[in-house]
Copies of this chain bind each other. A is one copy, B any other.
C-alpha cells in the first residue's frame, strides 16, 4: 500500500494544469492527513472512496499525466474506463459513481456489485476528488448552528441570545464529518456534549483542537456540560458511549438540553453500532451477518430517535443532520421518527434559493500563504458581508489545514463567479504561487435530489424529481468545468439521492477565466432556477433567464 500525498509546487508532470490539478486532488483525497482509511482508499463517510482499487488509482494517475488538453478521461465508479478526444472547452475528467437503475438501487444489491468489483461508493467529494478535510463541514455546521441561534433568538421564549452562549447542544458521531460539530458549536459560543461509541474518534478531535476534552464517564460529562452552560463558557465535551443508550439516559435524567442533533453514520446501517455491540468487532460482525446487523442497528436507531423526539417534546430545537437516521428509525419500527425536520428545510433552503452554497478552493502550491492571499481577496470582494468576514477571520485562526491548504465559504449567485475570476487573475499576476482549484460539495443549491436531506419537503412536492442534478452535471460539462461528477447515494445512502459536482482550475489563463466565469454563474444559477421552479422567492431570480417566468 503506497502512502499517497499530492505533489506541491509549480513543477508538474502532466500535460497541463487542469490534468495536474485533477491528479493532485485525487492524491490529496488519499493523503493520510485527509483520508479516513487511505490504505483502503476510503476518504470519508465510512466507505466513500477516491478510486475503485489500487490498480485503478495508478491507472488514473498515469492517464492524467498523459492526457492532452483536448482529451477527456472517463471514470466509472472509481475505475478509468476510457479516454476520448473532445476539445479544449470540455472537462478533462467525467465521473459517474455508484449509480444503479432504480429497482436495483438497494444496499444489498450495491454491496453484491461492490463485492464483484463492479462499483464503489463515491460519497460526495471522495470519488469526485474535492474533499478538503473537516473544514468543509465545519463551515456548513457553523452556519447551521448560527441559524439555529438566530431562529431561536426570534422566539418569545427567550431561552437563546444572539449566539449559543448559555445553551447546551447534544449530538453524537465524532467521525470525519460529525467531528466538526463541537468546534462549530463553540465558535458560536455554546456548550457541546458529543457522544461517540469509539473513543479514538474523540481523541483524534481533541488532537485537532476541534474538541476540548473527553469526559471520564457520563456523570462527569453532564457535570462539566452543566457547569459550562451555567457559566456561559464555550466548551465542548466528548463522552464515550452508544448514542442509542446515552440519549435516552440523558432524557431520563432530565438534563436541560437546548439543541439536539446527530451525525452517527446512520445512513449505512452496517456502519451504525447497535446497542450491545463492541465497536472494535462491529465491522467483522456486520460483514459476517449483514442482515442481522442491519436489524439490530435499526432497532437501536429507533431508540436513539425516540429520545430525540423526547427532547423535542420537552422544547428543544431538534433536527436531522442529513444522515437518514429518521428513515432508518422508522424502518426500525419507530413511528414518530419524522416529528423533527431535516436541517435543510429548517435552515438552509432560503440560502439555496439565492444560489448560496459551499464554495471551496485549494492551493496547488501547497503554500498556506496562497490561501491567506485568497482570504484577503474574499474580504476585499465582499466588504458588506459581516458573517462572511467573521468566518474567514476565524477560519484563518482556528482551522488547521489537512493536506493541501484550502478554504471554504458560502457564496451565492453573482458572487462565486466574481471570486473565481479574481483568483484566476491572482494566479495570472503571480499573487499566488501556483494555480488554485475551485470546487464545491455535491450538497449545493441546484445539484442534488435527496428527499431526506437537500430536497426534503419542497414547496411543490418535487422532492424526488432527479432531473435537476443531471441537468446540473450536463450544464457544468457544457460550461467549461475541469471535472464533473454524478453520484448516487452520497451522505444519505443508496436509493436516496442523486447529486452532481464540478471543479474548475484557475491556472491564470484567459481561457480558464472564461470557463470559470460561466461555470460559476451557471452552477449556482441551477440553484436559483430549481427553487424558483418549485415556487420559492429568490432575489437572485431577476438576473437569471427563466423561460416560464417571462411575461
Please name all residues of chain B whose beta carbon is closer than 8 Å to the beta carbon of A94 when the two chains form the complex.
Answer: 471, 474-475, 478
Task: Given A113-B462, A474-B477, A478-B477, verify A546-B101 contact (CB < 8 Å).
Answer: no
The stretch that binds B, out of A149-157, A289-297, A435-443, A479-487, is A479-487
Closest beta carbon of chain B to A123's beta carbon, Å: 15
Task: Given A87-B518, A94-B475, A465-B119, verify A82-B497 contact (CB < 8 Å).
Answer: no
Task: Given A74-B529, A79-B548, A90-B479, verify A100-B471 contact (CB < 8 Å).
Answer: no
Chain B residue at minimal CB-CB distance from A460: B118
Pairwise interchain contact A478-B526, C-beta atoms closer than 8 A:
no
Please name all residues of chain B whose beta carbon is closer than 8 Å to the beta carbon of A488 when the two chains form the complex.
Answer: 102, 466
Pairwise interchain contact B465-A118, C-beta atoms closer than 8 A:
yes
Pairwise interchain contact B104-A475, C-beta atoms closer than 8 A:
no
Chain B residue at minimal CB-CB distance from A530: B81
Q: In chain A between 194 and 224, which residues have their CB closer than 8 angstroms to a CB of chain B?
A: none
Q: Which of B97, B449, B470, B518 contacts A86 (CB 8 A)?
A: B518
Closest beta carbon of chain B to A463's beta carbon, Å: 8
Complex CA–CA separation, A465 to B475 (angstroms): 23
Tell me whether A451 is interfacial, beta carbon within 8 Å: yes
Q: In chain A between 443 and 470, which residues have their CB closer than 8 angstroms to a CB of chain B?
A: 449-451, 460-468, 470
The stretch that binds B, out of A55-63, A236-244, A345-353, is A55-63
Please name all residues of chain B whose beta carbon is closer than 8 Å to the beta carbon of A473 when the two chains form the complex.
Answer: 470, 474
The 8 A CB mask of A92-105 against B (1 = contact, 0 = none) is 00101111111111
Please name all residues of chain B whose beta carbon is closer than 8 Å to the beta carbon of A72 when the two chains form the complex.
Answer: 475, 478
Number of copies: 2
Complex CA–CA separation, A94 to B468 (angstroms): 11
Closest beta carbon of chain B to A308's beta carbon, Å: 22
Complex CA–CA separation, A477 to B472 (angstroms): 12
Complex CA–CA separation, A105 to B90 (angstroms): 32
Please name all residues of chain B whose beta carbon is closer than 8 Å to the beta carbon of A82 when the two chains form the complex.
Answer: 525-526, 529, 544-547
Closest beta carbon of chain B to A91's beta carbon, Å: 6
Chain B residue at minimal CB-CB distance from A113: B465
Q: In chain A between 30 and 56, which residues have their CB closer than 8 angstroms to a CB of chain B?
A: 55-56
Size category, A interface:
35 or more
Complex CA–CA separation, A31 to B183 (angstroms): 62
Please name all residues of chain B whose beta carbon is closer than 8 Å to the beta carbon of A80 when the two chains form the complex.
Answer: 547-548
Tell me whether A521 is interfacial, beta carbon within 8 Å: yes
Task: Given A82-B529, A86-B522, A479-B86, verify A494-B74 contact (CB < 8 Å).
Answer: no
Chain B residue at minimal CB-CB distance from A494: B102
Tell me whether A496 is interfacial, beta carbon within 8 Å: yes
Task: Given A86-B522, A529-B82, verify A495-B548 contact (CB < 8 Å).
Answer: no
Complex CA–CA separation, A244 to B89 (angstroms): 55
Tell me whether A533 is interfacial, beta carbon within 8 Å: yes
Pairwise interchain contact A484-B474, C-beta atoms closer than 8 A:
yes
Complex CA–CA separation, A101 to B533 (angstroms): 18
Tell me whether A8 is interfacial, beta carbon within 8 Å: no
Task: Given A84-B525, A522-B85, verify A475-B105 contact (CB < 8 Å).
Answer: no
Pairwise interchain contact B548-A84, C-beta atoms closer than 8 A:
no
Tell me whether A77 is interfacial, beta carbon within 8 Å: yes
Q: Which of B97, B104, B462 contacts A467 (CB 8 A)?
A: B97
Please name all residues of chain B whose beta carbon is closer than 8 Å to the beta carbon of A100 when the two chains form the complex.
Answer: 102, 464-466
Tell me whether A116 is interfacial, beta carbon within 8 Å: yes
Pairwise interchain contact B467-A87, C-beta atoms closer than 8 A:
no
Complex CA–CA separation, A208 to B297 (angstroms): 63
Pairwise interchain contact B101-A450, C-beta atoms closer than 8 A:
yes
Complex CA–CA separation, A453 to B474 (angstroms): 26
Tell me whether A278 is interfacial, beta carbon within 8 Å: no
Closest beta carbon of chain B to A271's beta carbon, Å: 19
Q: In chain A between 518 and 551, which residues have their CB closer than 8 angstroms to a CB of chain B?
A: 518, 521-522, 525-526, 529-530, 533, 544-548, 550
Most buried by B among A89, A477, A495: A477
Tell me whether A83 is interfacial, beta carbon within 8 Å: yes
Closest beta carbon of chain B to A108's beta carbon, Å: 12
Tell me whether A431 is interfacial, beta carbon within 8 Å: no
Pairwise interchain contact A495-B87, C-beta atoms closer than 8 A:
no
Chain B residue at minimal CB-CB distance from A449: B101
Please name all residues of chain B whose beta carbon is closer than 8 Å to the beta carbon of A451 when the two chains form the complex.
Answer: 101, 103-104
Please name all residues of chain B whose beta carbon is closer than 8 Å to the beta carbon of A313 when the two chains form the complex.
Answer: none
Task: Given A76-B467, A99-B498, verify A118-B462 contact (CB < 8 Å).
Answer: yes
Please name all residues of chain B whose beta carbon is closer than 8 Å to the beta carbon of A475 when the two chains form the complex.
Answer: 72, 74, 84, 86, 94
Pairwise interchain contact A471-B113, C-beta atoms closer than 8 A:
no
Pairwise interchain contact B86-A116, C-beta atoms closer than 8 A:
no
Q: Which of B81, B109, B450, B548 contacts A546 (CB 8 A)?
A: B81
Most buried by B among A80, A100, A525: A100
Could you list some 12 contacts between A and B, CB below 8 A? A56-B548, A59-B550, A74-B471, A81-B533, A81-B546, A87-B89, A87-B518, A89-B90, A94-B478, A103-B464, A103-B496, A478-B478
